[in-house]
Amino acid sequence: MGTAELVALMLADGRLPTGGHTQSAGLEPAVRAGLGADGKQLHEVQTYARDRLRTVTRVDAAVAVVARHVILTGRPPEPPPSRVDWSAPGSPSREPWSPNHNPNSRLDATAEQAKPGGLGSGLGSGLEVVERAWAARVSSQVVREAVRRQGRLLLRLAGRVWPGVGEYLPPDGEIARPIVLGVVAAVTGLSAEQLARVVAYDDAQTVVSASLKLLPVDPAEAATWLAALHDDIEKLVADVAPLTDVDKIPANAAPLIDIHAQNHVTERMRLFHA
């Protein structure tokens, strides 16, 4: 096994065969909704990547860091005390989303977890708690599905390249990508900082490189945007790397990104999966 530094480089490399070419980190639907103004406001691509670093990507990185911690300490985290019984029938706040309304409701989190190959299907390592904490913070079911699909793609590769990963995750499980990255980091010796940096860099790079396919962008300019995001990436790293507690995972959200994602799945013309 190589050094942690090299593992980090591999994970950050878009050429690693994990389906990265199918992802735009939500940029495609955002562009369709007007981001970049047909090429007249190209700097919005950078702003979009920064907004993600401050919201959704921050959550992903924190989840990865905590998942890594759970594996390394071997101590399953305490599930957060349930302050409300979310699934209580008739619970008023729950009403509009109640699975009882529609037995096939795709918003039913319980059904999601029961999926074959998903984490709900019996893992003792405590990662379910972290995965559930992640799912609770990602309100779009479409985004959850896309991130879990990406997790499965990575897991498939990671299980072969770093067989230790298989001790913690079921083969071919649809498991949120940050969880899979956290396990890879634990198994290969990546530090929490390196892991958070990989998550952040990968997300920003996904946005920036997708912009080359979606907008009239000069590739060298795109690289300049990425370089200009380094401070934001390091800020994210400093914030999330010390986290060890599931309850401390931030819950930043970007509702517009969720709305775009929901629109994207029904779109007929699309280059990217998400």
Partner 1 sequence: MPETRSFRLGVAGPVGTGKSSLIATICRELADELRLGVITNDIYTDEDARLLRSAGVLDPDRIRAVETGACPHTAIRDDVTPNLIAVEDLERDFAPLDVVLVESGGDNLTATFSPALVDAQIFVLDVAGGGDVARKGGPGIARADLLVVNKTDLAPYVEVDVDRMVKDAEAARDGKPVLALSRKDPASVAKLKEWVRHMTAQVSTGDHTPVDPGPMAPHSHVGEDGSVITHVHTH
Q: Which of 18, 141, 188, 205 binds partner 1 (CB under 8 A)?
A: 18
Q: Which is nearer to partner 1, 154 or 199 (CB)?
A: 154
Q: Which H or E element spans position 30?
A: helix 27-32
Shortest distance in whole angstroms from residue 173 CB to partner 1:
12
Q: Which of 52, 69, 152, 260 binds partner 1 (CB under 8 A)?
A: 152
Shortest distance in whole angstroms from residue 56 CB to partner 1:
20
Shortest distance in whole angstroms from residue 171 CB to partner 1:
11
The residue type of 13 is D
Q: Which of 4, 19, 139, 262 binds partner 1 (CB under 8 A)?
A: 19
Spell out the long-range contacts of 45-51 with Cβ–Cβ below 8 A and sequence spacing 24 or more: 45/207, 45/208, 45/211, 45/215, 45/217, 45/222, 45/225, 46/208, 46/225, 46/228, 46/229, 48/207, 49/25, 49/203, 49/204, 49/207, 49/208, 49/225, 49/226, 49/229, 50/229, 50/232, 51/254
Q: Give CA–CA dist 116/118, Å, rounded.
A: 5
* Residue 229 found at the interface with partner 1 (CB under 8 A): no
Q: Give CA–CA dist 89/170, Å, rounded.
A: 32
Shortest distance in whole angstroms from residue 69 CB to partner 1:
28
| Count of chain residues binding partner 1 (CB under 8 A) | 23
* Residue 40 found at the interface with partner 1 (CB under 8 A): no
Q: Which is nearer to partner 1, 134 or 272 (CB)?
A: 272
Q: Which is nearer to partner 1, 220 or 269 (CB)?
A: 269
Shortest distance in whole angstroms from residue 139 CB to partner 1:
23
Residues 183, 68 contacting (CB under 8 angstroms): yes
Give the DSSP per-residue string, 127-165: HHHHHHHHHHH---HHHHHHHHHHHHHHHHHHHHHSGGG
Tokens of 82: 């349930």
Q: Which is nearer to partner 1, 84 or 269 (CB)?
A: 269
* Residue 177 found at the interface with partner 1 (CB under 8 A): no
* Residue 205 found at the interface with partner 1 (CB under 8 A): no
* Residue 32 found at the interface with partner 1 (CB under 8 A): no
Tokens of 259: 């709305």
Binding site for partner 1 (CB under 8 A): 15, 17-24, 149, 152-153, 156-157, 172, 210, 213, 268-273
